[in-house]
Structure 1
């Protein structure tokens, strides 16, 4: 079995535990927890199917070990000083259920959390920053941008396009050809049509689940899941749980397994 640093190099292309989580060395405990949560959501084995599931499982386990080190004051201090980790550490070598460990750290998100987050996020500076980052990352491809911005619907696209045009005019962002090509009437109509179809499917699924008008947040969540917006949902859940979750007290005895 390769050591933790070797596994990091193989799976994440770096031996730096901070770089794996996209953190600075002076990151606060809450930033460490947030960084771990965001990345572990992206590689969670339940989100991957087929041949990639084995690699996702390995990444998920490695991230759990990284968090065990960086969240422990003494272990982190040793790593910061030496750049090495103790692969013989019981916490790192024991055959633990990393999913259960992850679930202990983070609560499930409630529909009310989703609703409150969406209301606070839309039109915020955080949404604007995400929009700019996604524009640059995807070089103006509006389809990819719409897949990436949290909580957005087809109704938000005209607003986003106008914001980006204004930013281009102010020379705050580069004017990409991909942006011009992706905001034609035909492209916008195609995305709107697809979104409408997905909304209808979400409504049907909501009815099948017995959800009423009071469950709009859950309907929105179903809709987002049907759109297969992996990146959007990863970031969405990470932000929500980082804002609302507190460590959950373990109530079950050590010998009992968690039933799902």
Structure 2
């Protein structure tokens, strides 16, 4: 699967700028900040042992690598394609190391602090409004694209959008205003299932760390 297809699958859009939450005319600094913000949401330190989060993190690294390279960005802007064979997107690249080179001083506490500060802020509200416009009111895609967002946040995200519509700041897209209860319920079930799977993965990892290592140590001592 190519980069654009991966973006569509994981973030609900094949538009690289939308993946990072920036405009096409964004400066290098704005693209870097967009990458920083979105990647914090799925950083391995924040969401450990989660296959989809890891995949998203890797794809975000590739998106930033393309948009931060002048030649690659120019090709994408003009033709809407990326060079999958370029050194920029080579398969053996460590995207975690790449991230650490860009943001070497970021700690787990910094990531948690960002999430706490971001939720409920005007910055979040602005991002929600932009996502609403980018995805024409499609809540499935909005919930995927909004930073630090879980299914428990949906009522709050909907309220932000509804207030903006009432204030005339956003148009009333049919996909949002007339979304069926069946679709809402399906999204909630899917989110809960993912949450259960993540908790189970974490639980199994904890068990492995607690018992398997001890068992290995015991066997070594016996020898």
TM class by shorter chain equals 0.5 to 0.7
1:63 lines up with 2:73 in the alignment: no
Q: How many equivalent pairs are there?
A: 147
Q: Deviations over 1:167-217 (max 9, x none)?
A: 1111111011111243x3212211111111101111111122228xxxxxx
Match of residue 102 from structure 2: 105
Q: Spell out the pairing of 1:22-171 with structure 2 (5 A cutoff).
A: 22-23=26-27, 32-33=28-29, 35-36=31-32, 38=34, 47-48=58-59, 60=65, 63=68, 103-107=100-104, 109-171=106-168
- The whole-number CA distance in structure 2 between the counterparts of 1:131 and 1:155 is 15
User: 1:64, 1:98 within 8 Å by CA — same for their partners in 2?
Assistant: no
Partner SS state of residue 31, structure 2: helix
Q: For residues 119 and 103 of structure 1, do their structure 2 counterparts lie closer, same or farther at Cα, with a shift above 3 Å needed?
A: closer
| Structure 2: gaps spanning 5 or more residues | 1-15, 17-22, 40-54, 72-92, 208-223
Q: TM-score, normalised by structure 1?
A: 0.46
Q: Deviations over 1:8-61 (max 9, x none)?
A: xxxx9xxxxxx97721xxxxxxxx44524646999x9x835xxxxxxx59x837
Q: TM-score, normalised by structure 2?
A: 0.53
Match of residue 210 from structure 1: 206
User: 2:31, 2:68 within 8 Å by CA — same for their partners in 1?
Assistant: no
Q: For residues 108 and 208 of structure 1, do their structure 2 counterparts lie closer, same or farther at Cα, with a shift above 3 Å needed?
A: farther
- The whole-number CA distance in structure 1 between the counterparts of 2:142 and 2:151 is 12
Of 200, 206, 219, 2:196 maps to 200
Superposed CA RMSD:
3.8
Match of residue 181 from structure 2: 185
Partner SS state of residue 206, structure 2: coil
- The whole-number CA distance in structure 2 between the counterparts of 1:131 and 1:190 is 21
- The whole-number CA distance in structure 1 between the counterparts of 2:66 and 2:181 is 46
| Structure 1: gaps spanning 5 or more residues | 1-11, 13-18, 24-31, 49-55, 67-96, 212-260
| Higher RCO by CA contacts (8 Å cutoff, separation 6 or greater) | 1
Query: Cα offset for 1:152?
Result: 1.1
Partner SS state of residue 148, structure 2: coil
Q: Which has the larger radius of gyration?
A: 1
- The whole-number CA distance in structure 2 between the counterparts of 1:118 and 1:126 is 12
Query: Cα offset for 1:118?
Result: 1.1
